[in-house]
Structures are given as structure tokens and as C-alpha cells.
Amino acid sequence: MDYLEIEGGSPLCGEVRIQGSKNAALPILSAALQSPGVTVLENCPAITDAASMLEILEGYGCKTRREGNRLIIDAGEVHPGRAPKDCAGVMRSSIMLLGSLLGRMGEAFLPYPGGCVIGKRPIDLHLEALRQMGARLWEEPEGVRAVCRRAKGAQIRLPFPSVGATENVILLAVRAEGVTVLQNAAREPEIEELCRFLTGMGARIEGAGTGTIRIRGVRELHETEYRIMPDRIVAGTYMLLAAAAGGKVVLTEVPLGQLTAVRQVLKAMGARQESRGDSLFLWCPGRCRGGVRIRTAPYPGFPTDLQSPLMAALCLADGESVIDEQIFEARFKAAKELCRMGADIRIRGSKAFIKGTERLTGARVEAEELRGGAALCIAAAAAEGTSRILQYHYIARGYENIIRDLKALGVMVQCR
């Protein structure tokens, strides 16, 4: 049984460097399939989701190796193989391989993507957008089969600014004939990062980071070297950890420009912040203020990936707060586990009402998904006594070494 044991109740004091971005690395790994040569990625996080993606790439003939945080992917001889079901079936991000596989080989088969249990997350938007570019797709009992011998540019408007659907369209459009104009595209920083990477491979893309992206297809892409940006969600997690547990924290290599919504919430909660370059200093000398009302939204709104960590921090804030989850309908799974620790949380539809309490108590709790697991780490570090957080493997999907990072901030933690 994999679990974390955390002794909480002490203020934080320490410094942590923010790892490379999970949500940028995974689509970039998919895009590496498009190069007939070697791709070198720096600052690629050593997380289990990245390891699973590498296994999937190897299933299509890629040769990969890791040298610390440096990844080398040789996609010179790929073939229309099949993604290992054990890998593709446990991570949502495997679906974005559709666009790359169709762009490189004209055909693909992927087991239905899995991942965290945080809602329905249908793939209909992906499939319909790819169909508009000429792909033929069949939903079979074990997965999705697709053929697209000659993708063509199209005018596509997404009904919702889905990050994954935006990425899939881009990954096929860069090799399509003509121009693709994607409207109501996702604006997340990870979309811009993918477009920067593809541009470095020879793609022609305009408008990344806006609601309208224009892609002119090219015949071939070439090999490149690229450094992946820091992870805004990991940074936000540790910022909210400081708000919950108190103390002084220094975070380095922080993508500050991507965290405006989170920093505004922390300011409302009374956390003191100072930035110098790409470093962030946080002081939380006492109990934070509650009484905040937050609604999750696509970027640049408050990210749904930080909703659970925020809930954990608000459990100890002074006052009653409300979180309105507008992205995923089942992302309050951490609430019942937080209540085991003494939190006062009531769920009504899409809203969580959190009445701050003066103390949480260590307990045996269970992570059911990635960000909810991180929220339990926050609560455990701020609680009195010892907590055991079961199913650590969920947390390892997105946090390179949360044990190392918590220790660096003064938290007593170990893996059992």
C-alpha cells in the first residue's frame, strides 16, 4: 500500500524550485511524433504521466531515453502500432496523440483515455473537430480508430474552449493542406507553449494565447531542442500550502505572469507576497482571512486544477467561503476526506460552502485523483497530529517529488 505520512502543525520555512509543467510537457511529447528526427526536451518533469506517455511513444516505434530532466526522443522510424492499453487507459492526455498520429502517419488507434475521476470529460469535441479536417473516426468497444490520409485546413469553432480539443486541432493542422482557423480556442499558457514548440519545428502558427488561432500547414516538421516552462499548478499548490500552514516560503522559477488569478485570491486571504524576477516570497504570519467567493473558469480565470488545493486552504481561513466549480462536475471528491480531518464543508450542486475552522486534526484519508491528493497534503501539513494519505500514486502523476518539496519547506513527511 502506497501512502504518505505527514506530521503537521508547524509553520513552513524553506525554498522550492518549481518543476517543469506537466500540462505543457504531455502535448509537447505528443508533438515530438511529428518530427522525423530527434527532439531534445529540457526541464521535462519526472512524473508518472510523462513516463506513461513515453511508453506510449515507444509503442509507436519511438526511441526514448532520459538523462535527468533532459529527454531525448527519436521519432525517425515510427509505425502505426498501438498504444499500450495500461498506459493510455490511465491518462487523459493520451487522446491528444490522435492529432499527431494522423498528421504523421494518416491513421491511429487509441484505447479510450482514462485519468482522474473528476467528471465525464467527453472526447466528442476532439472527434468532431478532427472530422471537420477530413478525419474518419470510429468509436469501437476498446478505443477510437481514425484515418486521415490527407488532412485539409478548415474553419472550426469549438462550442467550449477545451484545452485538449484545441491541442488536437493544432497537432493535425500543422501538417494539413491549407489554412485552419480555430475559433473559441483555449487560451491557457500551455497552448502557447505547444505552439512555441511547434514553431521551433517549422510550424506556421498565429494567434496562440488568443481565442482565434490560425495555422498554415507545412509539408514537414524538423527536429528541435526546447526547454519546458515551469508548472503554474505546482506553483499555485505550494502558494496555497503557505496560506494554510503559515510561515515563510520562497518559490523560484515561478511563472508569475500565469498566476494572476491565484495571487489575487491569496491577497484577499491576507497572504503577503513579494516577487523578484521569477522568485516569489510569501509570508503568512497567522490565520488567513476567508469570506472569499471563487468561480473556476478557463484561463485567465481561476484554474479548476487549483480548486481542491484552495478548498484545503480555506478550511482553516477565518470566515465562510464559496467555491463554484464550473469546469468539472465531480471535482469535490476531496471534500469528504477533508471533513474527516475536521473541515466544515457542504456541497450543493456546483458549489462548495467552506466554513473555516480554527484547527484540523490528522487522519487517515484517501486520494481519489491528482489535485485532490495535493489538497490532502496541504491539509495534512496544516493539521495537528499525523495524517496518512493513501494512494500516493495519484499525486505522483503530476508532482515530480512532492515529498522532497514538502521537506524543503519544513514539513515532516515520508512515504510508507
C-alpha cell at 114: 482514462
- Same domain for 100 and 180, yes or no, is yes
- Same domain for 189 and 213, yes or no, is yes
According to the model, what pLDDT value does residue 90 have?
55
pLDDT digits (tens, 9 = 90+) for 397-411: 999 999 999 999 999
User: Is residue 210 within 8 Å of 300, Cβ to Cβ?
Assistant: no
For residue 106, tell me if it sits in a domain. Answer: yes
- Same domain for 244 and 351, yes or no, is yes
Instruction: Select from 202, 221, 240 the last residue of a domain.
Output: 221
Quick check: is 116 catalytic? Answer: yes
Work out the percent of the chain whose per-residue pLDDT is above 70: 94
- Same domain for 114 and 205, yes or no, is yes
Instruction: Answer whether residue 325 shows pLDDT above 90.
Output: yes
Torsion angle defined by CA atoms of residues 279, 281, 287 and 289, in that order, rounded to the nearest 10 degrees: -60
C-alpha cell at 69: 530532466
Average pLDDT, the chain: 93
- Which residues, in sequence order, are CB contacts of 298 under 8 Å at separation 6+? 161, 186, 187, 188, 327
CA nearest to 189, candidates 311, 25, 19: 25
For residue 371, tell me if it sits in a domain. Answer: yes
- Same domain for 183 and 329, yes or no, is no
For residue 132, tell me if it sits in a domain. Answer: yes
Instruction: Answer whether residue 29 shows pLDDT above 90.
Output: yes
CA nearest to 243, candidates 375, 367, 370: 375
Domain count, the chain: 2
Distance CA 305, CA 58 (A): 29
- Same domain for 66 and 165, yes or no, is yes
Instruction: Answer whether residue 149 shows pLDDT above 60.
Output: yes
- Same domain for 189 and 253, yes or no, is no
CA nearest to 235, candidates 13, 16, 86: 16
Instruction: Identify the active-site residue in 62, 116, 288, 377.
Output: 116
Amino acid (1-letter code) at residue 121: R
Instruction: Answer whether residue 368 shows pLDDT above 90.
Output: yes
- Same domain for 118 and 237, yes or no, is no
The arithmetic mean of pLDDT across residues 84-109, rounded, is 78
- Which residues, in sequence order, are CB contacts of 25 under 8 Å at separation 6+? 41, 44, 45, 50, 228
DSSP-derived letter for residue 289 is B
The arithmetic mean of pLDDT across residues 262-290, rounded, is 96
According to the model, what pLDDT value does residue 88 have?
55
According to the model, what pLDDT value does residue 119 have?
41
Report helix, strand or coil for 340: helix
- Same domain for 38 and 108, yes or no, is yes
Its pTM stands at 0.95
Instruction: Select from 166, 201, 221 the last residue of a domain.
Output: 221
Distance CA 102, CA 60 (A): 12
pLDDT digits (tens, 9 = 90+) for 169-198: 999 999 999 999 999 999 999 999 999 999
- pLDDT tier, 114 (very low <50, low <70, confident <90, very high otherwise): low
For residue 226, tell me if it sits in a domain. Answer: no
- Same domain for 189 and 257, yes or no, is no
- Same domain for 156 and 271, yes or no, is no
Lowest mean pLDDT among 51-60, 114-123, 278-287: 114-123
The arithmetic mean of pLDDT across residues 220-229, rounded, is 96
Return the beta strands (E) in 259-324 as ranges: 272-276, 279-284, 293-295, 320-324
Please count the other Cβ atoms lying within 10 Å of the Cβ belonging to residue 21: 26
Strands 143-147 and 385-390: unpaired
Instruction: Answer whether residue 53 shows pLDDT above 50.
Output: yes
Instruction: Answer whether residue 262 shows pLDDT above 50.
Output: yes
Distance CA 287, CA 316 (A): 7
Query: What domain range includes position 215?
Result: 22-221
- Same domain for 245 and 167, yes or no, is no
Range list of H helices, 18-84: 22-31, 48-59
CATH assignment of the domain containing 144:
3.65.10.10
Q: Looking at the DSSP assignment, which residues form a beta bridge with residue 214?
A: 181, 206
The arithmetic mean of pLDDT across residues 254-273, rounded, is 98
- pLDDT tier, 59 (very low <50, low <70, confident <90, very high otherwise): confident
Instruction: Select from 221, 254, 269 the last residue of a domain.
Output: 221
The arithmetic mean of pLDDT across residues 95-116, rounded, is 83
